[in-house]
Amino acid sequence: GENVEQHPSTLSVQEGDSAVIKCTYSDSASNYFPWYKQELGKRPQLIIDIRSNVGEKKDQRIAVTLNKTAKHFSLHITETQPEDSAVYFCAARNGNEKLTFGTGTRLTIIP
């Protein structure tokens, strides 16, 4: 089955700086890669996703890149703000199969 590794487990950045979270996956057939943000005590929320037919996707301050050859994908947050502080999870999926989640990254934005 699919295995998703996520790094780092914790990340602290100064407000206004950029944050990068990286994930690798094992199943070369995986073709869908979402990112979720989970604030304390809240449900995970989808923030951005990418499918295997593109290499990069942007949505305002958030971008995701995908390298299918190397089987890794990354989340980039620019101009970080205090409200970006949360736990972020990557995930991978093959077709209509289940999502496999990474272990999570706790991002702290330092004012």
Interface residues toward other proteins, by CB under 8 A: 32, 34, 42-46, 49, 89, 96, 98-99, 101-104
Cα 12 to Cα 110: distance, rounded to the nearest angstrom: 7
| Region label for 30, one of left (φ > 0), alpha (ψ between -120 and 50) or beta (otherwise) | beta
Closer by beta carbon to other proteins, 81 or else 103: 103
Closer by beta carbon to other proteins, 25 or else 89: 89
Closer by beta carbon to other proteins, 12 or else 14: 12
Question: Please, what is the minimum distance in Å from the beta carbon of residue 13 to other proteins?
Answer: 20
User: Which residues in 12-24 are b (16+ Cβ under 10 Å) and which e?
Assistant: ebeeeeebbbbbb
Closer by beta carbon to other proteins, 85 or else 104: 104
Question: Please, what is the minimum distance in Å from the beta carbon of residue 16 to other proteins?
Answer: 27
Q: Residue 11: CB partners within 8 Å, gap ≥ 6?
A: 19, 21, 105, 106, 107, 108
Question: Please, what is the minimum distance in Å from the beta carbon of residue 6 to other proteins?
Answer: 8
Cα 100 to Cα 92: distance, rounded to the nearest angstrom: 5
Question: Please, what is the minimum distance in Å from the beta carbon of residue 105 to other proteins?
Answer: 10
